[in-house]
């Protein structure tokens, strides 16, 4: 058995060595064919590759292009076949609970102004978005125990994050940011630096909220009307015409009621508006809710009263 394992290891080592030599040969040939002779000589010398090695023209570019195409295809297939959002499934009895993630890499330090923070529905996780372009995901129990591990993850956003929300059933969180994007992150993975889904809005996304079913995302932006997205098709729905309800101002925050039957918007024009979660029509407007100042936030109580 040991001899078999050793033979397998040796064969793998030889295969790896052949692969490295082939890659080095393609690099040297590519540099030489593009008249980068000094660079080709340096690589050939460092890797002990013959400087006159033969390779099909543009072979390196062809392989890189194929690899990128496969990577893109896998990513697209992963989105279309993702079991994350099952629109046909009923909300489970344990609604609001989140499956146990395998590993969560966290850093409890915040290096700049924290612009937003949100607890997961079961209270086990806390996510923050910072002006330093980073998203932090904390396990509440670890915060309580003062377990502060060293973080190795770098920034995951190029712009400040405005708001965060958690999917009601899955290990997914979304962010809204100044780059007009809504991004989806799977925090069950050990490192989730990249979003696995991105919705490109037309405005600065100030606030985001999942519908309790998890099938829709509501976005409050610099546009006066909330944008409703289907997470499976990315189709956007606008709830009403601006002139019909006299809206004049960006939306600072959007939040759903516990059943999803209503949602509320807090706007820079000072108004708090309550909307029907099915028809997306405005059912009540509270103008000048805080006098002459803008309405920063609004939320429902659990009993929706």
Q: Please, what are the domains in the chain?
A: 2-80 (no CATH), 114-286 (2.130.10.10)
CA distances from 49 to 25, 32, 37, 42 (A): 6, 13, 14, 10
Write out residues in the chain with pLDDT < 70, as ranges.
1-17, 73-112, 143-158, 190-193, 239-247
CA distances from 165 to 79, 172, 178, 216 (A): 20, 9, 16, 12
State the pLDDT at residue 210: 96
The two structure tokens encoding residue 290: 């805080």
State the pLDDT at residue 23: 84
State the pLDDT at residue 216: 94
CB atoms within 10 A of CB 191: 12
Question: Rg of the Cα trace of the chain?
Answer: 26
State the pLDDT at residue 148: 38
Q: Mean pLDDT in the chain?
A: 76
State the pLDDT at residue 144: 66
State the pLDDT at residue 155: 39
| Contact yes or no for 28/41 (Cβ under 8 A) | no
State the pLDDT at residue 59: 82
The two structure tokens encoding residue 190: 């050990």
| Contact yes or no for 101/187 (Cβ under 8 A) | yes
């Amino acid at each position: 058995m040991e001899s078999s394992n050793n033979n397998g290891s040796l064969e793998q080592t030889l295969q790896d060595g052949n692969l490295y030599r082939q890659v080095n040969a393609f690099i040297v040939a590519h540099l030489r064919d593009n008249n980068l002779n000094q660079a080709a000589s340096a690589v050939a010398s460092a890797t002990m590759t013959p400087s006159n090695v033969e390779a099909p023209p543009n072979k390196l570019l062809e392989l890189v292009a194929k690899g990128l195409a496969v990577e893109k295809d896998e990513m697209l297939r992963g989105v279309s076949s993702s079991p994350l959002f099952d629109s046909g499934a009923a909300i489970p009895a344990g609604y609001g609970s989140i499956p146990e993630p395998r590993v969560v890499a966290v850093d409890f330090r915040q290096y700049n102004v924290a612009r937003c923070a949100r607890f997961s529905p079961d209270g086990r996780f806390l996510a923050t978005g910072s002006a330093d372009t980073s998203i932090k995901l904390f396990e509440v129990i670890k915060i309580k125990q003062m377990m502060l591990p060293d973080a190795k993850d770098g920034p995951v956003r190029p712009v400040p994050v405005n708001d965060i929300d958690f999917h009601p059933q899955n290990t997914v969180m979304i962010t809204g940011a100044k780059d007009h994007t809504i991004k989806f992150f799977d925090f069950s993975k050990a490192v989730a630096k990249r979003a696995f889904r991105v919705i490109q809005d037309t405005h600065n996304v100030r606030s985001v909220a999942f519908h309790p079913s998890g099938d829709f995302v509501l976005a409050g932006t610099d546009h006066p009307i909330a944008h409703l997205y289907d997470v499976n098709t990315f189709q956007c729905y606008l709830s009403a015409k601006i002139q019909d309800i006299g809206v004049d101002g960006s939306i600072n925050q959007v939040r759903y009621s516990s059943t999803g039957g209503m949602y509320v918007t807090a706007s820079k024009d000072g108004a708090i508006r309550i909307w029907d979660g099915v028809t997306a029509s405005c059912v009540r407007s509270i103008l000048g809710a805080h006098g002459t100042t803008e309405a920063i936030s609004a939320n429902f109580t659990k009993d929706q009263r």
